[in-house]
Amino acid sequence: MPRITRGLASTRPMYQVIARKYRPQTFQDVVNQEHVKTTLENAIAQKRIAHGYIFSGQRGTGKTTVARILARCLNCVEGPTAAPCGVCASCLEITASGAPDVIEIDAASNRGINEMRELRENVRYQPARDRYKVFIIDEAHQITSEAFNALLKTIEEPPPWVVFVLCTTEAHKIPATITSRCQHFSFRSVGFEDLTARMAWICQQEGIEADAEVLAVLAQAGEGSVRDSLSALDQAIACCGSTLDAAEVRALLGAFSLESLEMVTQALVSSDSRRMLEVVDELERNGHNLQHFSRELARYFRNLLVERISGADTRLVAASAAERQKLAEIASQFSEEDLSRYLQLSLDLFHDLQFSLQPRFHLEIGLVRLVQAGRLLPIEEALAQLSAPGPRPPVPAASPAQPPPRTGPSPFELDRAQRAPQKTAATPAGDPRERLHTYLHEKGLTHLADAVENARITITGADLNVIAPKSYALYFNDRAMADAAREVFGRPLRVKFATDDAGEPASPLTPAAGNHEEDAAARALANPEVRRFREVFGGEVRKVRNLKE
């Protein structure tokens, strides 16, 4: 026989870990996994018991527990029943892992062909006492392929008294020949609410005081595994005694409070790289594991992103209501794009730190990169902001993408001023051109103001007619003109633009150039891309070169 885990009921240790002490004995006690419970209950009620089951799912979600409950249901003296009595010899022995006909095999250490041959032999004999022989094979994916082959025939045509339950965290590693002969149940990760409720109940039974915050920390530590959360609870009780303190429990589990993670987002809001370096320094001085921190940071950004997308009442974030509220507030300071970028970067950082010999440096550069990433704006957005007339739309706090304010006129402007034609006559007050020019100048749209000054502008009906020399054509931006006109003349006007080369002032392009070159220049200047570029960045086209020549 393979090595078999037999119960040691008589030599039970003085302290029993909580996970074992509170292993559910009936379907009702099992948290979550409703689909598994109902299906099995119905099957038992209808006496339609399969000979092979596969229970798959994350560790600590109830696979072994349910397998044992199933064994009880089948072998209880009252049974087969979905509600085993709990007091007969079979029920009691199964609880204590000492039942002669319920055989638990750890496939991690009994995975070879010889063990499976032994098992095949064992299967042939009738149960020693009970109705069924139940084989619970844990870590079933570890069984070698020859061993699976040896088992195949048995699973295909087992004696009527045999039930196999193959438990695994990796169902995909079970050969299809086996899965196709079994009923497959996948066990789900247990949700945050269920976990905290279960732990609150256990704490009550044990006379342990634990507030919502502590329970949240423990539930988060379990990541969906009841067993892992209960192990964390054990640790917390060993450390704190009968009153659990959130800060102590966090320190114990290497978890980070929302406040300590918030330092990172605060530094991001204020684009403060120096603050980031201080965060790392504080972590190191307090002896925190930096890799651990980077993992928590990734989880933090993930939660912020989910809050940003789904709102504070989302059930996709494993946190208490108060924490979710706080997360939603923090998330509202960032855009979805920012947060996804931060999440990606923090995942990269976590990955890097796992192999890093210099975790501190990696963390430092990682956090500084987060600040830099916050300054990235999509180019489209940057262009829109730069070229929009009037007050700029508010820029996210973490994204100071605007160029530094100009001090004094640009060299181009000075240069142009020198070469611009002298104004001949004063423009009459109230002249549309002069009014527009003044307005644009005040708005700081100097290029457009310049161009307007060199144009002829009239208003006919709802049209604003603009006739400008070719060389100024590219300074005109219909939208900016329309906006300005609405401001200046108090009504919407349609901008109608035309060029006129008669009386053209000295072109900013080399005037000595021949006709051919002038044409090329005019075509280049009229190019929408070039126009757009100049609207946004200002500057001036000095020379047009045909690269094909």
Residues near Zn ion (CB under 5 A) are 76, 84-85, 88, 91
Q: Is 22 in the site for ligand ADP (CB under 6 A)?
A: yes
Interface residue with ligand ADP among 23, 72, 362, 369 (CB under 6 A) is 23
Among residues 227 and 437, whose Cβ is nearest to ligand ADP? 227
Strand order in the sheet with 463-468: 456-460, 463-468, 494-499
CB of 43 to ligand ADP, least distance (A): 19
Q: Specify the residue, 140 or 452, whose C-beta has the smaller distance to ligand ADP.
A: 140
In the complex, least distance from residue 24 CB atom to ligand ADP, rounded to whole angstroms: 5
Determine the Cα–Cα distance for residues 258 and 253; give it in Å rounded to an integer: 15
Which pair of tokens denotes residue 364? 């430092």
Least distance in angstroms from the C-beta of 53 to Mg ion: 14
List Cβ neighbours of 155 (8 Å cut-off, separation of 6 or more).
51, 52, 164, 178, 181, 182
Shortest reach from residue 70's CB to ligand ADP, in Å: 12
Which of ligand ADP, Zn ion, Mg ion, none binds 76 (CB below 5-8 Å, type-dependent)?
Zn ion
Give me the least distance between CB of 55 and Mg ion, in Å please: 9
Asked if residues 360 and 287 have their Cβ atoms less than 8 Å apart, the reply is no
Tell me the CA distances in angstroms from 108 to 2, 94, 111, 168, one per residue in order: 11, 22, 6, 11
Contact yes or no for 109/94 (Cβ under 8 A): no
Q: Which is nearer to Zn ion, 79 or 224 (CB)?
A: 79
Beta strands in 415-469 (DSSP E): 456-460, 463-468
* 80 sits near ligand ADP (criterion: CB under 6 A): no
Interaction mask 167-196, ligand ADP, x per CB under 6 A: x----------------------x------
Q: Which of 31, 77, 92, 263 binds ligand ADP (CB under 6 A)?
A: 31
* 33 belongs to the binding site for Mg ion (CB under 5 A): no
The option from ligand ADP, Mg ion, Zn ion, none interacting with 23 (CB < 5 to 8 A, set by class) reads ligand ADP
How far apart are CB 31 and ligand ADP at their closest, in Å? 3
Among 56, 64, 189, 346, binds ligand ADP (CB under 6 A): 64
CB of 303 to Zn ion, least distance (A): 45
214 within 8 A of 244, measured Cβ to Cβ: yes
Positions 40 through 59 that interact with ligand ADP (CB under 6 A): 59
Distance CA 137, CA 518 (A): 86
What φ, ψ does residue 197 adopt, rounded to 5°? -65, -45
Task: Compute the least distance from the CB of residue 330 to Zn ion, in Å.
Answer: 53
Nearer to ligand ADP (CB atom), residue 66 or residue 264: 66
For residue 139, CA distances in Å to 30, 59, 171, 271 come to 21, 10, 10, 49
Does residue 61 bind ligand ADP (CB under 6 A)?
yes
Which of 64, 56, 63, 77 lies closest to 132 in space, CA to CA?
A: 77
Is residue 220 at the binding interface for Mg ion, with CB under 5 A as the rule?
no
For position 32 contacting ligand ADP by CB under 6 A, the verdict is: yes
Q: What is the DSSP string of 476-496?
A: --HHHHHHHHHHHHSS--EEE
Residues 189 and 185: their CA atoms lie apart, in Å, by 13
Which structure tokens are listed for 124? 């042939």
Question: Of the two residues 69 and 264, which places its CB atom closer to ligand ADP in the complex?
Answer: 69
Should residue 140 be labelled a site residue for ligand ADP when binding is judged by CB under 6 A? no
Residues 6+ apart with CB under 8 A from 388: none
Query: How far apart (Å, rounded) are the C-alpha atoms in residues 215 and 321?
Result: 12
Residue 375 C-beta: closest distance to ligand ADP, Å: 46
Q: Map the footprint of Mg ion across residues 55-114, applying CB under 5 A.
A: 64
Which of 7, 24, 127, 175 lies at the binding interface for ligand ADP (CB under 6 A)?
24
Q: What angle do CA 293, 258, 319 make, to 5 degrees?
A: 105
Measured in whole angstroms, the distance separating CA 341 from the mean position of its chain's CA atoms is: 10
The least distance separating Zn ion from the CB of residue 76, rounded to whole angstroms, comes to 3
φ and ψ of 468, to 5 deg: -130, 155
Q: Which stretch binds ligand ADP (CB under 6 A): 19-27, 454-462, 464-472, 526-534?
A: 19-27
Binding range to ligand ADP, per CB under 6 A, among 62-70, 327-335, 336-344, 500-508 = 62-70
Can you count the helices (H) and strands (E) in the chain?
24, 8
CA 38/CA 28 separation, integer angstroms: 10
Residue 65 binds to ligand ADP (criterion: CB under 6 A): yes
Contact letters for ligand ADP, residues 189-228 (x by CB under 6 A)? -x-------x---------------------------xx-
Helices 145-156 and 113-124 cross at an angle (nearest 10°) of 10
Longest dimension (CA), the chain: 119
Choice between 174 and 367, CB closer to ligand ADP? 174
277 binds, among ligand ADP, Zn ion, Mg ion, none (CB under 5 to 8 A by kind): none
Q: Which stretch binds ligand ADP (CB under 6 A): 3-11, 17-25, 394-402, 526-534?
A: 17-25
The whole-angstrom separation of Cα 323 and Cα 412 is: 55
Contact partner, 19, from Zn ion, Mg ion, ligand ADP, none, Cβ < 5-8 Å per class: ligand ADP
Nearer to Zn ion, 76 or 216 (CB): 76
**Nearest C-alpha neighbor of 273 from the set 401, 374, 404:** 374
Q: Which residues bind Mg ion (CB under 5 A)?
A: 64
Please report, as ranges, the residues that interact with ligand ADP according to CB under 6 A: 19-20, 22-24, 30-33, 59-65, 167, 190, 198, 226-227, 230
